[in-house]
Amino acid sequence: MSLSLDNIWTVVILLVVVVSGVVGIMVSNEIATDVISDPTVDNTTKEVINEVNTSAPKIFDYAFGFVFILLWAAMLLLNYFLDNHPVFYVITVIMMIALFFVVAAVQDVYIEVTGDVDLAVYAAQMPIANFIMKNAVMVFLVMAMSVAFVLFAKVRGGQGR
């Protein structure tokens, strides 16, 4: 039971991180606009603020993609190296079905939140995170199939103990 709750929390945390990133970029952009339009601020500060403001979405997007792929690879490796009894495969399938509904809800929440006109502009600045979250169900199905393949290949390939 703890494992399924961990999976659910991981999905929810990914949602919170991406939405926080979108809102953070929006706030950063508004602050940068105010600083750049202020005539009392020197040009060096304006250049630095502008550079940080343009590079922050890319850095966040690449970091999210990297962490997401790292989590996926860790999940595959752990499933390959853990020694499980075959009864746990049935439990894994049940957990994946339950997690499917959570992922679908998270995808709907993300689409609803970023469907706002103000946030959609900033969400579009992060194409990797935006793609993963808007297609979370399909991404989850690919991940679930890869985990099922690893579990099946381990047992069928003679690697199961």
**In whole angstroms, what is the distance from residue 19 CA to residue 64 CA?**
12
In what helix (H) or strand (E) does residue 119 lie, and over which residues does it extend?
helix 117-123
Least confident of 9-13, 72-76, 98-102, 119-123: 9-13
- Mean model confidence pLDDT for the chain: 85
The more confidently predicted of residues 155 and 147 is 147
- Given a cut of 50, whether residue 13 has pLDDT beyond it is yes
In a domain, 106, yes or no: yes
Q: How many domains does the chain have?
A: 1
pLDDT tens for 38-55 read 888 888 988 998 898 889
**In whole angstroms, what is the distance from residue 86 CA to residue 69 CA?**
27
Domain range for residue 143?
2-16+58-156
In a domain, 51, yes or no: no
Q: Alpha helices of 43-116 — where are they, by DSSP H?
A: 43-81, 87-114
In a domain, 27, yes or no: no
**In whole angstroms, what is the distance from residue 41 CA to residue 3 CA?**
52
- Given a cut of 60, whether residue 158 has pLDDT beyond it is no
